[in-house]
């Protein structure tokens, strides 16, 4: 239960940042190109760096957080409140925006619940506008005088603590926590909720940050997938090469999680690979100027500062080699039947009629779809950008091959699911969360987003219903 709560909280943090990744990349590229030590130094263009970092990015985060709580109205009040922490602080206020955006939205939501039933007819617009404006003023002042300084103190303390780890060469130890947490789908929460705020503050001080390389390094996962490619058996060996390409070049880390979960001892390989990658970056004084999203080698190189390519490439290469060596030993020692049994035990690889359900009742898939018109299928994940996008693309291609043109197939974050969907496909570990969001819909669990047989079975049963 605790893990579920942590995952839910982590996804909430991640969903405030993920929709705005394009803005972060834009800021990172402008920084890499035009600052005095950049590739194309330009004093005029470099004027964009400070305002984007101080105002644009935190406001976008606050808006996203407020919008998740109470739509556009909540987002507006959340941004007003965030303005207080931004102006009242001397550091980039990403953590403050993550707090004030949703908080401001929640407060206006509660006020609306009280006053809306009492508004006289014809005064709705007047009262709604003034209630939001007055509350915004109060919250902005509170943020300016109290919340901003408090968050700045916390952020500075965390940053100082991290600097101690760096100076003592102990930063690689964070991989002991990071790598297992990633496998349980806390990767986005760690990256965007923890490392990104610290990393951005470091960039403003020294021009780069090692924290952008810790969670995003594709080396540990690539090592595991290469081990399965060479020493795996059965289905795991057959699917690992494609997964490795998607993981390394596409940056979809979620694709290697099932390979680790079906042989959990591989977490040791991930930890050792992650630690070696962080240590390499530390020793070579490497770092990135923005968060690479998705975490692919292409994205990492794109936000590597001038003179930092050797450190970036070396950290990925060494992490891959260490992870591969340890993973190879583990995979070779694993009996074939154990690997295959682990995959077959997964709900996604059993017959659909035995494993999919509506809400919390065990209802065969064929029965569930008998009396409904299926218009929309959604592949959902925590952020709605990586693994779900890949799954939806594969499902669309297969639907086209089977002549299915009347069904809309798309992807989204679980938090953005709406009533228009008929069938929801999610990673096995996320299905319960999706059911909480949309309890009356048909939910299907998949273990591996590359499982073509799963998608084919779904489409065949839809065609033949």
Q: Indicate if the pLDDT at residue 187 is higher than 90.
A: no
Average pLDDT over residues 124-140: 93
| Nearest by Cα to 63 from 95, 31, 28, 98 | 98
Average pLDDT over residues 117-138: 91
- In the β-sheet with 423-427, what is the strand arrangement from edge to edge? 357-358, 442-446, 423-427, 376-381, 408-413
Which two tokens mark 349?
Answer: 């690889």
- Catalytic choice (62, 330, 381, 424): 381
pLDDT band at 193, cuts 50/70/90?
low
CA gap 82, 378 in Å, rounded: 33
CA gap 281, 179 in Å, rounded: 17
| Nearest by Cα to 17 from 181, 255, 188, 209 | 188
CA 265 to chain centre: 24
pLDDT of residue 346: 40
Which two tokens mark 20?
Answer: 């705005």
pLDDT of residue 230: 94
Query: Count of alpha carbons within 13 Å of 459, Cβ hemisphere only?
Result: 22
pLDDT band at 353, cuts 50/70/90?
very low
pLDDT of residue 56: 94
Which two tokens mark 348?
Answer: 């996604």
CA gap 226, 229 in Å, rounded: 5
Q: List, in sequence order, every residue forming a beta bridge with 410; answer none if it has no partner.
A: 378
What is the per-residue DSSP string for 83-130?
HHHHHT-SS--HHHHHHHHHHHHHHHHHHHHHHGGGPPTT-HHHHHHH
Q: Indicate if the pLDDT at residue 165 is higher than 80.
A: no
Average pLDDT, the chain: 83
CA gap 406, 380 in Å, rounded: 20
CA gap 431, 417 in Å, rounded: 13
Dihedral pair phi/psi, residue 438, rounded to 5°: -130, 75
CA gap 100, 139 in Å, rounded: 9
Provide the sign of the torsion angle of the four alpha carbons 105, 108, 112, 113, taken in this order: positive
3-state secondary structure of 374: coil
Question: Cβ(147)–Cβ(96) under 8 Å?
Answer: yes
Distance of CA 240 to CAs 297, 346, 453, 454, 464, Å? 18, 17, 16, 17, 32
CA gap 451, 235 in Å, rounded: 10
Characterize the bridge pairing of strands 408-413 and 423-427.
Answer: unpaired
pLDDT band at 167, cuts 50/70/90?
confident
Please indicate whether residue 412 is annotated as part of the active site.
no
CA gap 92, 76 in Å, rounded: 20
Question: Cβ(59)–Cβ(82) under 8 Å?
Answer: yes
Q: Indicate if the pLDDT at residue 90 is higher than 90.
A: no
What is the per-residue DSSP string for 15-49?
HHHGGGHHHHHHHHHHHHHHSTTSSS--TTGGGGH
CA gap 464, 462 in Å, rounded: 6
Q: Indicate if the pLDDT at residue 5 is higher than 50.
A: yes
pLDDT of residue 357: 41
Provide the sign of the torsion angle of the four alpha carbons 194, 196, 202, 208, taken in this order: positive
What is the H or E stretch that residue 331 is in?
helix 309-333
Average pLDDT over residues 163-187: 79
Task: Give pLDDT tens digits for 393-422.
Answer: 889 999 999 888 889 999 888 878 888 899
Task: Give pLDDT tens digits for 289-326.
Answer: 888 877 889 989 988 988 899 999 999 999 999 999 99
What is the H or E stretch that residue 426 is in?
strand 423-427
Burial of 418 (0-12, 13-18, 19+ CB in 10 A): exposed
Cis ω before 294 (30° cut-off from 0): yes
Task: Give pLDDT tens digits for 409-461.
Answer: 998 888 788 888 999 998 877 888 888 888 888 999 887 777 788 888 889 88
């Amino acid at each position: 239960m605790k893990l579920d709560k942590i995952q839910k909280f982590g996804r909430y943090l991640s969903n405030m940042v993920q929709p705005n990744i394009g803005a972060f990349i834009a800021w990172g590229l402008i920084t890499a190109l035009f600052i005095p030590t950049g590739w194309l130094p330009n004093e005029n263009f470099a004027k964009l760096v400070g305002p984007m970092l101080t105002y644009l990015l935190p406001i976008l985060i606050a808006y996203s957080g407020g919008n998740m709580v109470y739509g556009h109205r909540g987002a507006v009040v959340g941004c007003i409140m965030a303005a207080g922490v931004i102006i009242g602080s001397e550091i980039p206020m990403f953590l403050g925006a993550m707090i004030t955006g949703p908080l401001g939205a929640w407060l206006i939501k509660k006020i609306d619940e009280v006053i809306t039933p009492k508004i006289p007819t014809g005064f709705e617009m007047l009262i709604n506008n003034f209630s939001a404006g007055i509350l915004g003023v109060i919250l902005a002042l509170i943020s300016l005088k109290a919340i901003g300084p408090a968050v700045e103190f916390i952020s500075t303390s965390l940053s100082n603590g991290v600097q101690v780890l760096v100076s003592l060469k102990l930063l690689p130890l964070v991989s002991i926590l990071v790598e297992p947490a990633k496998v349980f789908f806390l990767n986005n929460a760690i990256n965007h909720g923890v490392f990104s705020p610290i990393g951005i503050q470091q960039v403003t001080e020294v021009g780069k940050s090692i924290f952008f390389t810790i969670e995003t390094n594709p080396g540990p996962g690539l090592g595991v997938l290469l081990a399965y490619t060479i020493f795996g058996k059965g289905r795991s060996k057959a699917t690992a090469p494609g997964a490795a390409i998607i993981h390394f070049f596409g940056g979809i880390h979620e694709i290697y999680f099932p390979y680790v979960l079906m042989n959990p001892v591989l977490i040791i390989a991930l930890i050792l690979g992650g630690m070696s990658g962080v240590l390499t970056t530390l020793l070579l004084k490497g770092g990135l100027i923005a968060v690479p999203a998705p975490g692919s080698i292409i994205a990492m190189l794109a936000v590597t500062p001038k003179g930092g390519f050797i450190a970036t490439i070396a950290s990925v290469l060494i992490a891959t080699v260490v992870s591969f060596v340890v993973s190879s030993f583990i995979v070779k020692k694993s009996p074939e039947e154990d690997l295959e049994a682990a995959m077959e035990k997964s709900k996604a690889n059993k017959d659909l009629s035995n494993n999919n359900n509506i809400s919390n009742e065990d209802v065969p898939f064929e029965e569930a779809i008998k009396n409904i018109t299926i218009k929309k299928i959604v592949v959902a994940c925590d952020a709605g950008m990586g693994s779900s996008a890949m799954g939806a693309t594969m499902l669309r291609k297969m639907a086209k091959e089977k002549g299915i043109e009347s069904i809309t197939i798309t992807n989204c974050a679980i938090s953005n699911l709406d009533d228009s969907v008929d069938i929801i496909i999610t990673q096995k570990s996320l299905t319960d969360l999706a059911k909480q969001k949309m309890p009356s819909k048909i939910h299907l669990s998949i273990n591996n987003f590359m499982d073509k047989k799963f998608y084919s079975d779904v489409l065949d049963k839809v065609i033949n219903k």
